[in-house]
Structure formats: structure tokens, C-alpha cells
Structure 1
Amino acid sequence: MGPRRATTLDRRSGGRVLTDVDLGAALRVCALDPVGSVLATARLEHARLVGLAAAGGVLWGYVHEGVLVAICWAGPNMVPVVPVADERVAQAAIESFAGLAAQGGRRCSSIVGPAPAVLAVWRLLRPAWPGVREVRDDQPSMVIDHSPTVAPDRWVRCSRSDELGAVLPACVRMFTEEVGYSPASGPHGPYETRVRHLVEQGRSLVRMEPGLDGTPRVVFKGELGAVAGGVAQVQGVWVAPDRRGERLSEGGMAAIVEHTRRHVAPVVSLYVNAYNARAIAAYRAVGFRQVGSYATVLF
């Protein structure tokens, strides 16, 4: 066995900024809750390839008795991961992350992740970070790790790069309906770049049909927005308004599950607003079950 890799961790308990040499320990923390931590795990796996400096965020950690027990990714989204059974240690980790966030000022557009950690961090940050638009405090986290229980829609497939002209407007429309403002920032902006990358990576799935003018349009879509640690999280599920009520989401989600489990990851997850009873019923029909709850603070 070779020598242990250098680390910035020591026996002192407390919160601190982590570095590239701590990424292995941080990923081990995420592995304790692979579904809840998939957003952070995806960022850390990318950082392991390119380095934290190039990954677009900062990584904080909380050390207890020389062991890293909680982490928080602070980038465009802030994602705390606190899989700690000891309530006192968990609270200390939350306080350290909130303190580090307050020192630097708000640079993220949301805080998102498992509800207990997100809401605890937000309670401490609320006085320092005004301007919150919405707090979604109950978003069931659902998973499926077996074949779907309804027939997959055979017309759902991976989108192609030459279909970006149809896929991007559907993505913008979904985001605007869901969040309340358009993410579009002009040609080649961050949102278009992200959609393009998902299409190129085979992580954008659609059902296309001819529109009234014969031009292909998206009538159902979903993306594998985060893939890491054996989990693929579905995001951006959307059905064209004039096709809602036809159960396209059930067959479409079944197709996404089948494709994802065959080609991408064995576990498929998502989170959904608790008030969206229709979507929850559709996901349950496909075979998803609830395993926890997410929360999102939107700025």
C-alpha cells in the first residue's frame, strides 16, 4: 500500500475551506447519502478532473475529531451535505457553513439539497442575505432502482444537436413556468450552453412531434441534470401545455428511467414540489418512491 495522500485535515474540529487534496474525503462524505448529495457529488467529480479553481465553486468542510463529516459546495448553487447522526455535530457543521457563507456575501442563485440541512443553513443566513424570492421547503425526493411499472413511451429518445432550435425554447419555457423568470441570456449564454452540453452528452430526452406548421416541436422532455455516484437525477420534466392531461409524463418518465438505468446509472432520482400532486401521482405510477425531502431557497 502506498503512502496516504496529503490532506489539509487535522485533529482540530471546525469548519474550513477545503482544497483539491480533500476531494477524496469529500466524496466519501457524499457517498453516505448518494441520492441526497448527487448535486454536490457531480460538482466534486468534475472538480476532481479539472481542479476546484476551474470547477466554478468553493468547497467548505466540517471536521470532527480529525474526520471530515460534512461538506458544502458553494458555486452558482449552494449545496450543503450533512449526513451526520449526532445532532450537535450536525448543528456545528451547519453553523460553520452559514458563517463562511455570510462572510463572503451571497454569490449563489439558490440553496438546494436535503431539506434539513438547507433549511437549517437558511435560518441562520436569512438576516445576512436579504432578497429571497421563494422558499420551497417541502420537495419530496423520489427514486426508482428497478424497471418502470408502466410501459415506456417508444417515441421518447435522446435529442440531437440539430434539434437544439426546438429543444432550447422548450427548456426556457419549462424554467420560466417553474421558477418565474426566463433563464435566457442571449445566444451562447450560460443557459443555452448548459442545454447544448446536455444534448451533446446524451442527457436530454424528448418526444418530438410536428407542430401546426409541420415544424418539429417538443411535446415532452426531461434531462439528466446531475449524474454522479451511481445516481442520475432527472430535472426539467415538461409537457407542452396543449398536450397535458394525456398521461405523456408517465410513459415519458418510464422511457427516461429505462434509458437511464440501461445506459447511465442504476438509480434514477428526482425531486418535486409537494403541492404538485399530479406530478407526484405520475411518478408513483412509474414506480418512484419517496426517500426523503429536498428544499430550495431561490434568490
Structure 2
Amino acid sequence: MRIIFAGTPEFAQVALAQLQAAGHEIVLVLTQPDRPAGRGMKLQASPVKQHALAHGIPVAQPRSLRLDGKYPDEAAAAQALLQAAQADVMVVVAYGLILPQWVLDLPRRGCLNIHASLLPRWRGAAPIHRAIEAGDTHTGVAIMQMDAGLDTGAMLLVESLPIAPTDTTGSLHDRLADLGGKMVVQALAQLDTLVPVPQPSEGISYAHKIEKREAAIDWTQTADTIVRRIRAFNPFPGAATLLAGESLKVWAATVSDAALPAGTVYGSIVAVTPESIAVAAMDSIVNITQVQRPGGKRLAVADFLRGCDVQPGMVFENAPDVPQAR
């Protein structure tokens, strides 16, 4: 098929590559404008744009597709490109812009979306993070026929995937991205026979965008909640805490089976071993196993302790530059 592809991050790039490998013709790519990134804050092309340029695919980066919006000239230019592409279908994956009705109506076979959740649970921007944070045991991918709502369209294909107790957003992202690419190729191959299924009206939840302020570890929460949030915020924004005036990122931790001593202060270190730093939470103990100092690398606790004197009785506090997440 002739496909217009709209997407921005690595999750979308994986699907774009699989569509190409399946033999589809990508006639136009829409992606977000280049953003400052890295220590030098230089403008950086999205993973989707980098892939498109490497494969000679035309790219458009409008800041809006609304003809009556803030950037009408950019939207009008994009409209001309989309009309000229004469696409059979548009595939949308984590694009970052709302598609107005004129875009939804343009492709002959409509617009398909790859969404990384079992809809209608976790509609919205951050379904992978929120599924881990909530303690879900399963997630998945839905191929959806897009409509004007936020992830409300009828579903063409749905496939479930287990969430392992050790999964981070990073590890789960990679599995879901690969699954999503395979499923959209399958959906296009079966488009004439697939029957759209409306989403259930029960079980709707929204995966709101991840904010940096959510990074702060709240040691008054349960140990299970803290560990889930550490996993959910790996690799972004990274769970943060403060020890002896130094902000630390906590990248890996487990819940301990050990009993919490009576009267223990939340956030206090109850034990230190080469394998972990045991920290008191509301109901149990969190064993921190991987940390990172500012400007440093991620380190296993044994390596971290060689350069940092950590003793029982010290207390982890909220990082001052990261508001407490409640």
C-alpha cells in the first residue's frame, strides 16, 4: 500500500522499519519538529525523521495540522503534501499532534493507530509507564481505526503481553514496539476482512503524560509502590532522592521480605551490604540495587559504595529540585 506515516519516537521508528520491510511504500513521513537535546542542547531530529532521511523518504514537520490554528501556513503546506501523496492509508504511532477531521478523512482506507495498551485501559500519552506504575500484570497493543476522540476508535487487532515483575518502561517498551510493528503489518494484510470492534464503555483509564516532578521518591509510600515507580520511571525521568545533600537517581530496587523495625523513620537506611542499600518505606523495606550520582554512570551498589560512605541510620530525603510526588 501507499502509506503516510506519522510518528516521532523510537517506538514509532520500529513500526516504520517493519512497514518498509513488509514491502509497503512510505510516500510521506510526518514527525515532530527537531528539539534541543543532549548536554549541548543542540537541535536533534526524531528517530522517525532520522530513519526517513536515511531511506530517502520525504519528511514534513508541521507544528500543527489545524488549518484554523496557530500555524495555519504550516498546516496548509502539510495539507498540500498529504493530498499529493494519494495514500491508501495513514499509520499513526506516538506522533504527538492531534489529527483534525480533514486528516482522518483524507486516506482512502482511513487512519490506523498503534497504541501500547489494552484499550480502553490507558488511553493517552504514557500507557507503558502507567501500566507498570499501577502494578498491571498484563498490557498489550491495540491496532485502532482512528476517530476524532483521544484513543477512542474501534479496534481491529488486540494482542496481550505479560508484564514481568522486573520489567522497566525501557524493557517493556522494546517488546511492545516490536509487537506493534508486526501487528500493523498484519492489520494491513487483512484490512479487507478485519471487523472493527468498538471499545468497551467500562474500564476506561487515562495515561497522563509523565512529568519530571513525578521523579521524587516518596518514602512514606508502600515499598511495593516505590519499587513500581522506580521501574516505571526507568529510563525517564528516573526516580530521584537525596542523601547527605546529594541528589541520586535510583534505577533498580526490590521489595524486601524482612520486617520493618518498629519506629523506623521513613527513608532511613536500616542496612548496607555489597548487594543493596535497605531503606525503610511505609510498610516494608526497599532494597536499592542500582544508583547514579550527578554526572556519573549507573552503578551497582557495590561499586557505588566504593566512592560513597553510606551507613545505617542515614536518611534519604526528597530532592529539593524535584517536588514531592503524592
Q: Same fold (TM over 0.5)?
A: no
Q: Bigger relative contact order, structure 1 or 2, given CA contacts below 8 A and separation 6+?
A: 1
Instruction: Name the TM-score, length of structure 1 as normaliser.
Output: 0.30
Instruction: Name the TM-score, length of structure 2 as normaliser.
Output: 0.28
Structure with the higher fraction of residues in helix conformation? 1
